[in-house]
Amino acid sequence: ALASRPKGPVPQGQALAWQVGGRRWMAAGARICPSCGAAHDSFRFHCTSCGALMGDDYSGVTHFEVLGLEPAFALDLAEVDKAYKDLQRKLHPDRHANASEDQRALVDAHSSRVNEAVSTLRSPLRRAGYWMELHGVRVLEEDQRMEDMETMMEVMEVSEEIAAASSQARIDELTRENKEKVAAMEAQLDAAFRRKDWEAARPLLER
């Protein structure tokens, strides 16, 4: 007897598989565990069925998916750090010290991918550029160099002030002022992104 593919959404973490004529079929695009053959509907570092390491096919996987976060420009950095530490623990070399050479290489590859995602999402500038790229908008390329002389002078002045600071208190003050400016710019970028106003966002990003 033929059995049709199960109807309705497949619960996250369960195999996207069904029986047809006694044969086991997998859904197109499913990520298959190399150990037990279970399929997953989203990217994972470990199989939710047997716990084995999944392969290092990161094609089409966003930084948000790598860390298990909902895609959004406005992020809670505490959540980014929490996800990072959790993955660091799971992918720590000591946990795989007795694994095969191929498995240890896979752990290294996964760790590198996690580091790439975290370094991008932690940085407001890199996160903003990445968010625009995800929406098909080119940013900070050769033909988009900073042309705002006022902004360039402001950057140079801040750098000179920090270099000339004679006390830690003054350095701390300049650092605080800079953080406040970055926070204000993040808020403006978030507002532009919510409106999908990419032309308004680009000059803000290039500041």
Residues 6+ away with beta carbon under 8 Å from 2: 20, 21
Q: For the chain (length 207 residues), average pLDDT per consecutive 10?
A: 39 39 45 88 90 90 94 94 96 91 94 96 91 86 51 62 75 79 88 93 78
Q: Fill in the amino acid letter for 11.
A: P
Instruction: Look up the pTM and report it.
Output: 0.72
Which pLDDT score is estimated for 204?
Answer: 81
User: How far apart, in Å, do the first and last CA atoms of the chain sit?
Assistant: 65
- Check residue 105 and give its pLDDT: 94
Asked if 146 and 140 count as a contact pair (C-beta separation under 8 A), the reply is no
Between CA 135 and CA 130 the distance in angstroms is: 9
Phi, psi of 189, rounded to the nearest 5 degrees: -65, -45
**Region of residue 73 (phi > 0: left; psi between -120 and 50: alpha; otherwise: beta):** alpha
Q: What is the pLDDT of residue 159?
A: 64
